[in-house]
Chains A and B, each alone.
Chain A
Amino acid sequence: MHPHGAGFPKISLPGVKYVVAVASGKGGVGKSTVAANLALALQMHGGKVGLMDADIYGPSVPRMFGLSVMGGLPKDAFPLERYGVKLLSMGFFVNPEQAVIWRGPMVHGTLTQFLRDFDWGPLDYLLLDLPPGTGDAQLTLSQTAPLSGALIVTTPQEVSLTVARRGLEMFRQVRVPVLGIVENMSYFIGDDGKRYELFGHGGGKKLAAEAGVPFLGDIPIDPRVAECGDQGDPIVHKYPDSAVAQAYLALATTVVQELHRAGPEPELPGLKL
């Protein structure tokens, strides 16, 4: 299938060095958790970081950062800053009990506004937390955002890998470089210090090898990850010495290396008529 869409001109973000999409394919693999913790890990490495929640229907950035709907604030108060990371989410504008029931063009318009009409300021990294799938949000951002690359988050089991393959194929078709694969919920470290691979072994690495993209790292599973997310204080910030936080800090280093290695992406030549 050929991707289609409205084809709006590319948005220029001159103050942002790298724009990175965090995507998956399948929902529930911890994409938003990875995006939030990676944003904090990049910030702890000394980078200026922004996180844009591109999940219009199911925003989770506010909850993960202990924020909620921000009625009454002027537009220039956004993006909001929390733990040193600049944040923007549909969840700041719509009550949690209210459903966003929109067709694609509305999603397209809002994502374009999020990127274009808010002052992201000087940033080293702007992460885009994508919704699952290969639909409107992904197409809009491939067409209009100056993407440096995409990270694909998966869990080790085949059911997640199968859908992640579709995500990879989408980025290949729209020519957004895939920086690599991140395997989330990779293993559990028991009280006995042993490593238990709850959902199987090596799925993420296999997928990376298959697709010819780097394997960027694996993140262990820890009940505190969910607890921290629900409490609005991501684990990298709350327990920076935990194994999970250390895995995120290592992931951030690898992501930065990949971004530097990949260099700037060329833009298509235009035609004056």
Chain B
Amino acid sequence: MAASGSGSLWPVALSKEGDDRLVIAWSDGHRSVYTWKHLRENCPCASCREERAQPPDPFRILKPSELVPRPPLAPVAVAPVGRYGYKITWNDGHDTGIYTLENLRELCQCPQCRPSSS
């Protein structure tokens, strides 16, 4: 048999729960729930990962965009990338993060995966 990705972890359906959550139903029956905020904070793109790896800078100068009132964080598009992940385009203009399926499964915030998170 060909070594296919279809035999392993696979999302069956994606849906929205209210305005602030994404739900993924997986092929193994698991149901993952994420807040959009959690996904944005864990963006896997190179610049976000580098930013998270740095110690917080107490003297960080705010960007002009951070000084004006902003609409609540929301995704503009969630699009499959090949057969291995999803790219999320955010309403803050960020769109370089590709969330692999493994990555999404790890970030799951359901009570079973993250008992302490809400």
Interfacial residues, chain A to chain B (CB-CB below 8 A): 2-5, 7, 9-10, 142-144, 149, 168, 171-180, 211-214, 258, 261-262, 265-271, 273
Q: Which residues of B are found within 8 Å of A214, using beta-carbon distances?
A: 1-2
Q: Contact check, A7 vs B84: say whether CB atoms are below 8 A apart.
A: no
Looking at chain A's contact residues, the main secondary structure is loop
Q: How far is the CB of A137 from chain B (nearest CB, A)?
A: 14
Q: Contact check, B2 vs A268: say whether CB atoms are below 8 A apart.
A: no
Given the contacts A172-B3, A176-B5, A267 and B80 also touching, CB distance less than 8 Å: yes
Most A CB within 10 A of own CB, among B1, B4, B98: B4
Q: How far is the CB of B17 from chain A (nearest CB, A)?
A: 12
Q: Contact check, A175 vs B82: say whether CB atoms are below 8 A apart.
A: yes
Q: Which residues of A are found within 8 Å of B15, using beta-carbon distances?
A: 271
Q: Contact check, B5 vs A269: say whether CB atoms are below 8 A apart.
A: no
Q: Mark B16-46, 1 if CB is under 8 A from A, else 0.
A: 1000001000000000000000000000111
8 A–B contact pairs at CB < 8 A? A3-B100, A7-B87, A7-B98, A144-B82, A179-B2, A268-B80, A269-B13, A273-B16
Expressed in whole angstroms, the Cα–Cα distance for A269 and B11 within the complex equals 7
Q: Contact check, A271 vs B78: say whether CB atoms are below 8 A apart.
A: yes
Known: A175-B5, A175-B82, A261-B2. 18 other contacts (CB 8 A): A2-B100, A5-B98, A7-B98, A10-B80, A144-B82, A172-B5, A174-B82, A175-B4, A175-B84, A176-B5, A214-B1, A267-B83, A268-B80, A268-B86, A270-B80, A273-B16, A273-B75, A273-B78
Q: Which of B75, B76, B83, B98 contacts A2 (CB 8 A)?
A: B98
Q: Contact check, B2 vs A258: say whether CB atoms are below 8 A apart.
A: yes
Q: Which residues of A are found within 8 Å of B113, using beta-carbon distances?
A: none
Whether a CB of chain A sits under 8 angstroms from the CB of B6 is yes
Q: Which of A2, A9, A172 contacts B79 (CB 8 A)?
A: A9
Q: How far is the CB of B66 from chain A (nearest CB, A)?
A: 25
Whether a CB of chain A sits under 8 angstroms from the CB of B73 is no
Most B CB within 10 A of own CB, among A178, A265, A273: A273
Q: Which residues of B are found within 8 Å of A262, using beta-carbon distances?
A: 1-2, 4
Q: Which residues of A are found within 8 Å of B83, using beta-carbon distances?
A: 174-176, 265-268
Residue of A nearest to B25 (CB): A269
Q: How far is the CB of A83 from chain B (nearest CB, A)?
A: 28
Given the contacts A265-B83, A269-B13, A4 and B76 also touching, CB distance less than 8 Å: no
